[in-house]
Structure 1
């Protein structure tokens, strides 16, 4: 019997040329291997990724299209108001992209194993920077394209823009995203060289500055004269938002060029695009020059000279956590404390949590000034459920981004957890309590604040508080359970774990769960208040007694769905976690 001997695996030959060619060749082979892995992998995985992306894009497109059609009934969609809105929208994205890109580029350049290896090769520092920068910018900005493309397509269809508009906005998006990416890289290199061991202080200062500026803007809008939602009030708001029309801001070039392209004025659009692309190229050139001169020095400063100063200030937090979870065994409390300390020591996590929930709280505080609190009960009920839905959606992104990867990140260090006197299922319950313990107080406070600003009745506030509790527990159970069932033990970056198949599926299941809970309780309330608002024209009027009956059924069904959504994923995760070999 003869044995067939396979040919030895042949590796690709290194290309002839300098380090630049080698790095381009490496990137090409990485992309090629990823595509091959997707092509030969599970068809279910690829289908789920495509279906989830298509559903998300279509949902955003429908939302933007409906919004533009609604606004178009009152104002001209090519006038100054839309230009202000576009400028403000892209200015907000500019700030968020600058912040997120700075964090991701810093992690990619100074805490990446691949970067550590590449810096030992003869490749120049600026080439290594270009290689890692391309990876960071692609990873950190894909959500911008996913958010911006349905917005612009919906706007183009609403104003009946020419067909070439849909091709022109793509280079606009590409050039725009390069500016905050390059500026974030500049900030990362400067921080590494000037404050190599004070990243947390720098990040706290940046977050505080953003909140102060946002609070100042909100206070100015709060002081806008005249009655809300009137023509004089709108003029005052536009005057106070005139800063977003500054000709030196990239968001101004972006909005002016896109609106010109939508009108068919491609001469003006081309001028704005050239202006935007020239500044994008200049921003990257500044970042590359800084990387050439300071990248290696900054990397050495970040990696060396660790401070031996003992960290203090968490003793009170430890005591408060042990008192709050007194009913849990001490090993589980220690595990929760470990996760909490890891969360607080990672600025990339708590900074995003603080910014999103801080902006949401800022909006809720401004509800009386927007005039919602003096509207009819129908509109106040509608706005209250919309606010609750937005809070739940932000919570689902938080659990998918930070809670789902927890078990995957424990994979390589599981032997440490194995030394604790804990069963594996207790580890999962510890993750669940950690997630619920962080999300529940924050979301409950936001919902109560929103309802108080809207002057909602006490029984509706109690209903919303119960809903958000069910949502918090369910989303935590889904993220922890699916995180144990679909772990990625080879990846050390939580962002990439959350962006993979398991994270995408987790987000989709979370969205379905939110839709089921919110719809079940919002629908009878909406029908009741709609009938009270338009009793003579409403096709279906729900009486107060009927509302109580429907709410009783809806609350019972929501509790059952919430219990299933919490316990079932945890049981699936526990069963898979017990069989898992590390």
Structure 2
């Protein structure tokens, strides 16, 4: 057998063994994690399916779902996913090809560079495409049911998804390899520029939608909106191919559908082939440049901000202030953390800003109250994801340098409280701004706005304490990858406790205010009666006190557990 054939078989055997070992570990050691992922994914998929299904039914009341407007919706949806996949795949492949330990081992093996690239490329595709399938499949199923599409539509939809993912994967791989060769030291700068460009494009699109003339859902408004979104239907974009192909298959036009599928798959193969050729010629030089580009230079660009931080928080003891500053510097120097933070909370802020343009503020009080608590729940869920992903692994990432913390001239409990202060401070600023913006856009009133702000503060303190406390109680000092720490038993338990805490805090005031505003609605007045505001506010104070009690328990208990464990830890 030719050497290339033996190498391909070796990599195939390696992938099969890795999958088998991972599956065995999940079934034998991480059943809680597996069950949590499956349950959460199922709930998320079902929620998206209901959302898309109701959306298509709403469109069907005005236009046929196979009409032009659906093609525009599909095009803009898949164009957004194309950009997200392009960036995420590029980041994943850059880390896998140039930063991972396995890459150093494989580069020392007799395997050629393009085979190493193919192995890591398949891993990156599997890691980045599952989220795309989780987002795209409920939309396809909902559209197929609503439009009464024939059964081959679903099989073709899966084939379209597979081909679509490979295109941004190949382009992202080429970008990662070129970045390593041309700018090995400027990866953070490039990521920052890309983030700014994406944010600028998002703001520009939002402004275009915001300034669409005409009353909402009128013919004039719809035509103007379609004109402004016409850029997403360019015939050279893969998002246009998948949108047109899926619509053709839903209508039973198999010739057009197979044509677009052929275009999609041929370009996917071309993208991978181009990436493999680039990897064959430039992967090893780029790897050498990345290793040689590491430097121990000290950066002083943020000296003014650090000095302002010291002066603003001079009331905090200096050792603790230095610990908080260390965590703040780690956060801003890690593009993975601040980029995901900006993306998630930036998209949420973009939605809140457009609430009035969507007409939600002119709905009745019952709907506005319901939407305000839904916005609060979504903000809390994103915050819990952030704390579980980045705050929980903070102490574990100290790793081999943990002994330095033991030498600090401060008590160990002060170190834990310093990490809590950092987590609570950064989350409190972001979430309070979002919730105040949501309440102002929905015009929920001063009392409800103050209640939402208080609930957010309780959530920030509780979620930060849960992540810091459990992170100190269940550290993983042998792992250097924060995503693997967050995906372990401790991270899974932290996420479950965070979700339960969010439910206990939001449920009392949400249920009470929901019943009150439902009683104001004429359709439900017979069941609940029309209540005056004198009924609502005293009971909201009681519900707020219950939420505050849960918040105090979630703050004190995990912190005490974490402090006790950290003080007893042998460093």
Fold in common (TM above 0.5):
yes
> Which residue is 2:487 aligned to?
499
Q: CA separation in 2, counterparts of 1:454 and 1:558? A: 23
Match of 1:513 among 476, 501, 504: 501
Match of 2:537 among 541, 548, 561: 548
**Paired residues for 1:148-547 under 5 Å:** 148-307=136-295, 309-534=297-522, 539-540=527-528, 541-547=530-536
Residues 362-394 of structure 1: CA distance to partner in whole angstroms, max 9, x if unpaired? 232233333333444334333333332332222
C-alpha change, 1:142 and 1:480, in structure 2 (3 Å) is farther
Q: CA separation in 1, counterparts of 2:14 and 2:109? A: 14
Q: Kindly report the root-mean-square deviation, in angstroms, between the aligned alpha carbons of the 2 structures.
A: 2.6
Q: CA deviation at 1:94?
A: 1.2
Q: CA deviation at 1:307?
A: 4.8
C-alpha change, 1:72 and 1:344, in structure 2 (3 Å) is same
Residues 383-442 of structure 1: CA distance to partner in whole angstroms, max 9, x if unpaired? 333332332222222222211222222233212222223444433322221111111111
C-alpha change, 1:474 and 1:164, in structure 2 (3 Å) is farther
CA contact (8 A) 1:48 1:505 kept: no
Deviates more, 1:220-229 or 1:100-109: 220-229
Unaligned runs of 5+ in 2: none
C-alpha change, 1:570 and 1:516, in structure 2 (3 Å) is same
Q: CA separation in 1, counterparts of 2:338 and 2:420? A: 18
Q: CA deviation at 1:570?
A: 3.0
Q: CA separation in 1, counterparts of 2:191 and 2:36? A: 36
Match of 1:561 among 550, 555, 560: 550
Deviates more, 1:479-488 or 1:96-105: 479-488
Deviates more, 1:572-581 or 1:178-187: 572-581
Q: CA separation in 2, counterparts of 1:505 and 1:52? A: 13
Match of 1:87 among 75, 90, 93: 75
Q: CA separation in 2, counterparts of 1:360 and 1:42? A: 32
Residues 158-198 of structure 1: CA distance to partner in whole angstroms, max 9, x if unpaired? 33433333333222222211122221111111111111111
C-alpha change, 1:495 and 1:140, in structure 2 (3 Å) is farther
Residues 301-336 of structure 1: CA distance to partner in whole angstroms, max 9, x if unpaired? 111144565411222222333344444433222222
Unaligned runs of 5+ in 1: 1-14
CA contact (8 A) 2:97 2:103 kept: yes
CA contact (8 A) 1:474 1:565 kept: yes
TM-score, reference length from structure 2: 0.92
Match of 1:78 among 50, 54, 66: 66
TM-score, reference length from structure 1: 0.90
Q: CA separation in 2, counterparts of 1:108 and 1:42? A: 24
Aligned residues: 568
Q: CA separation in 1, counterparts of 2:393 and 2:290? A: 26
Q: CA separation in 2, counterparts of 1:478 and 1:463? A: 22
Q: CA separation in 1, counterparts of 2:224 and 2:506? A: 36
Q: CA deviation at 1:475?
A: 1.8
Q: CA deviation at 1:200?
A: 1.7
Match of 1:143 among 121, 127, 131: 131
Residues 454-490 of structure 1: CA distance to partner in whole angstroms, max 9, x if unpaired? 3332222211211111121122122223333443333
